[in-house]
Amino acid sequence: QVQLVESGGGLVQAGGSLRLSCAASGRTFSRSVMGWFRQAPGKQRAFVAGISWSGGSTNHADSVKGRFTISRDNAKNTVYLQMDNLKPEDTAVYYCAARQRPAVSSTRWDYDYWGQGTQVTVSG
């Protein structure tokens, strides 16, 4: 069992930065693939980034490549999403998710545990 709590969301101007954190509880965090997804009003939940259990493999959606970076600290049971050069279209609720399989996946149905989400609003 893994419990996830996101933090770090807020209101930021276009071009600004935010760093999201996801604190995990449970003994299996270090062996969990972690992912960030987002959901804008009226839209499906979409993959943002994923990271392997070791941190050695990452995957970022094309829409955020070069602007967002996923990382993790297994000693702190925490995964991060550094978001730079934010755009109004990045406005969404951002969710952290954990997957109990070894491969990074961009499919939401492959993830077993979810946080409650944190709101990110980018003003233009």
Over residues 69-97, the pLDDT tens digits come to 999 999 999 999 999 999 999 999 999 99
Contacts of 6 (CB under 8 A, 6+ apart): 20, 21, 22, 94, 95, 96, 115, 116, 117, 118
Provide the pLDDT for residue 123: 97
**pLDDT category, 1, cuts 50, 70, 90?**
confident
Q: Which residues pair with residue 20 across a beta bridge? A: 81
**In this structure, what DSSP letter does residue 31 have?**
G
If 0-12 CB within 10 Å is exposed, 13-18 middle and 19+ buried, where does residue 99 land? buried
Which neighbouring-strand residues pair with 31?
Answer: none
- Tell me the average pLDDT across 43-62: 96
Q: Which pLDDT belongs to residue 91? A: 98
pLDDT tens, 100-121?
Answer: 988 999 999 999 999 999 999 9
CA distances to 44, 105, 123 from 80, in Å: 22, 17, 22
